[in-house]
Amino acid sequence: MKNLERELGYNFSNKNVLNEALHHSSIKRYAIPFERLEFLGDRVLGLVISEHIYRNSSGKEGTMAKMQAAFVCAETCHEIAKTIGIDKVIHTAGNHLKSNKTVLADAMEAILGAIFIDSSYSKVRDVILNLWKDKIDSYNDEAQDPKTTLQEICQRLSGDMPRYEVLSIAGSAHEPVYTLSVTALNRTAKASGHSRKEAEIAVARKILEQIQEKPE
């Protein structure tokens, strides 16, 4: 916990709330406290990022929404969770869950919820903006949201929308694997992810690579 607090740049007054955030809902007796903290942390993260974008960007609503989606998505939460070592301290019902992207992303949100409960909005805002600083500073609008980019290309070239199809859902409830295909501009690609949204982003990015390599 001390190492995690150092990485967070925040020391908890109530260690119990941090303990609840570090016990994943796969451990049944901790399920409700973890899920409640995750719920809160998700909303706090969204508000902090939205406020920061509003105060520091002159973009229109659509541009702001794309930025917000890039910063609060599960992929970003997972990457930051790994960076600060949440995978080394989280307790789960099985060790295999400690490397699961969704589990770590959820834990990141639960910890943010715990900081908010333990302190205040201004404190958790400082933590978030510090942890997310590199992501925010390196944001490149053109590299974000491959689904939107693919849709815009399809509408411009053919007038048709990309067609996504769920091919299979495998794995456990805590570690699902979605495999999807997308058909666009007479091409088809397939990719997987730990959520439908993650799989859609992966397969959209994959077919965009095909289009860029061999344009119609």
Q: Which pLDDT tens digit goes with each residue over 94-122? A: 899 999 988 999 999 999 999 999 999 99
Q: Sheet holding 163-171: strands in order across?
A: 163-171, 176-184, 187-193
The string of pLDDT tens digits covering residues 31-89 is 999 999 999 999 999 999 999 999 998 888 877 887 888 899 888 999 999 999 999 99
Same fold flag, 2-143 and 146-213? no
pTM of the full predicted structure?
0.72
3-state secondary structure of 159: coil
d(CA 43, CA 51): 12
Q: Decide yes or no: CATH 3.60.15.10 for domain 146-213.
A: no
What residue segments make up the domains of the chain, in order of their start?
Answer: 2-143, 146-213
List the catalytic residues. 42, 109
Q: How many CA atoms lie within 13 A of 109 on its CB side?
A: 30
The CATH architecture that domain 2-143 belongs to is Orthogonal Bundle (1.10)
Mean per-residue pLDDT over the chain, rounded = 90
